[in-house]
């Protein structure tokens, strides 16, 4: 029998602290940095974002999202035989032990299942879904918990108004299970390391000392130009692989980075804006968490229904990008 993979549960979690543009502008003004709600909204579409408390880690957000996905799927934690967690803000410096292993412990999974982190920045969730899909189709795993979790507020320079207003914290999760009929219809991943310097945290550690900067750096114009180009191309690639047309896509769930990039992608694909799921206005850019967060919102409010085709795509530092076409 041919094996396929299908999304059987989604979940998400946002830390309670919600910060509006007005509140953030007031905080920045105390540091002599000028910005406004109008300035932020006009450039990004963002009105608010959530920040984790100082004692909350990516794994804590991930666990809450995972519990909600497990509940939707009607599964117990020990039914999971692989965890893939995408994050640029892992619990531990250096990335080990992996945040996926920390989540495994916090969920109480004791079956010896595998757990691993994936680092592709804002494309991390798409990368993780593609990896999980291939593991399931090969027969190596049957039920995979995929999580995007970030505490991006920890790496923001709040003296740089061009970046600090854009990002937020949160987590989203999906459960991918073996199925007899196709759920994940096609995936495609790309990377181009020649653009690694336009979006990065340009610091490293030597003998316990940070060399360079531990804050996020972004060349906004360069990222915008590249993102608009590659998102259209990769979306068409997965449609071609699946043997489908753009007008057969019921919902577009893009990485929630910038409303102008999102609108441009939908327009180039010929999709009406009404078919695009938007949460960037309330979540900000939550990096690897943004797609599963938006997906869970649309599943739970009833927009995404069984049998519908959903396009998920993202771009991130590296430079990485990719897309997943799924049938629910």
Give the active site residues: 122, 255, 285
Domain range list for the chain: 4-181, 185-327
- Res 95: pLDDT: 87
What pLDDT does residue 16 have?
A: 98
pLDDT at site 1: 77
How many angstroms separate the CA atoms of 43 and 50, rounded? Answer: 19
Q: What is the pLDDT of residue 93?
A: 86
Burial class (CB in 10 A: 0-12, 13-18, 19+), 263: middle
Lookup result for tokens 């039914």: 79
Which residue is listed with tokens 């979690």?
13
Nearest to 25 by CA among 50, 48, 2, 53: 48
pTM over 0.85: yes
Q: Residues with Cβ < 8 Å from 55, sequence gap 6 or more?
A: none
Closest CA to 127 of 243, 286, 288, 279: 288
Strand partners, 37: none
Beta bridge partners of 326: 184, 310
Report pLDDT digits (tens) over 151-209. Answer: 999 999 999 999 999 999 999 999 999 999 999 999 999 999 999 999 999 999 998 88
- Which residues share a beta bridge with 117? 85
> Mutual orientation of helices 58-73 and 99-107 as an angle, nearest 10°?
50
CA 37/CA 20 separation, integer angstroms = 8
Nearest one of 165, 154, 151, 215 to 29, comparing CA atoms: 165
The whole-number pLDDT of residue 157 equals: 96
Q: What is the pLDDT of residue 208?
A: 87
Instruction: Give the architecture (CATH level 2) of 185-327.
Output: 3-Layer(aba) Sandwich (3.40)
Per CATH, the homologous superfamily of domain 4-181 is Thiolase/Chalcone synthase (3.40.47.10)
Domain 4-181 and domain 185-327 have a common topology: yes
3-state secondary structure of 216: coil
Phi, psi of 212 (to 5 degrees): 95, -150
With a cut of 70, list the residues of the chain below it in pLDDT: none
User: Bridge partners of 209?
Assistant: 206
């Amino acid at each position: 029998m041919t094996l396929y993979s299908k999304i059987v549960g989604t979940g998400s979690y946002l830390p309670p602290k919600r910060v509006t543009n007005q509140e953030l502008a007031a905080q920045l003004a105390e540091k002599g940095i000028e910005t406004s709600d109008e300035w932020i909204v006009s450039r990004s579409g963002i009105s608010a974002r959530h920040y984790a408390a100082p004692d909350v880690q990516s794994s804590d957000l991930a666990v809450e999202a995972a519990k909600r996905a497990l509940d939707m799927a009607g599964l117990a934690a020990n039914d999971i035989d692989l965890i893939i967690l995408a994050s640029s803000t892992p619990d531990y410096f250096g990335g080990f032990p992996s945040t996926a292993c920390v989540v495994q412990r916090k969920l109480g999974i004791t079956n010896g299942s595998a757990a691993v982190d994936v680092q592709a920045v804002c494309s991390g969730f798409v990368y993780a879904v593609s990896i999980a899909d291939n593991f399931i189709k090969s027969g190596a795993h049957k039920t995979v918990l995929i999580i995007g979790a970030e505490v991006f507020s920890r790496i923001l320079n709040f003296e740089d108004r061009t970046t600090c207003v854009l990002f937020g914290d949160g987590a989203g999760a999906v459960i991918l299970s073996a199925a007899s009929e196709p759920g994940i219809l096609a995936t495609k991943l790309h990377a181009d390391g020649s653009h690694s310097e336009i979006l990065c945290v340009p610091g490293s550690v030597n003998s316990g000392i940070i060399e360079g900067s531990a804050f996020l750096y972004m060349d906004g114009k360069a990222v915008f130009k590249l993102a608009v180009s590659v998102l259209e191309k990769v979306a068409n690639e997965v449609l071609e692989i699946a043997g489908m047309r753009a007008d057969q896509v019921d919902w577009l769930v893009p990485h929630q980075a910038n409303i102008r990039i999102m609108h441009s992608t939908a327009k180039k694909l010929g999709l009406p804006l009404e078919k695009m799921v938007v949460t960037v206005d309330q979540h900000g850019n939550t990096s690897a968490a943004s797609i599963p967060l938006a997906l869970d919102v649309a599943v739970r409010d009833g927009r995404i229904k069984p049998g519908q085709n959903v396009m998920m795509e993202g771009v991130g530092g590296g430079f990485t990008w990719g897309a997943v076409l799924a049938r629910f």
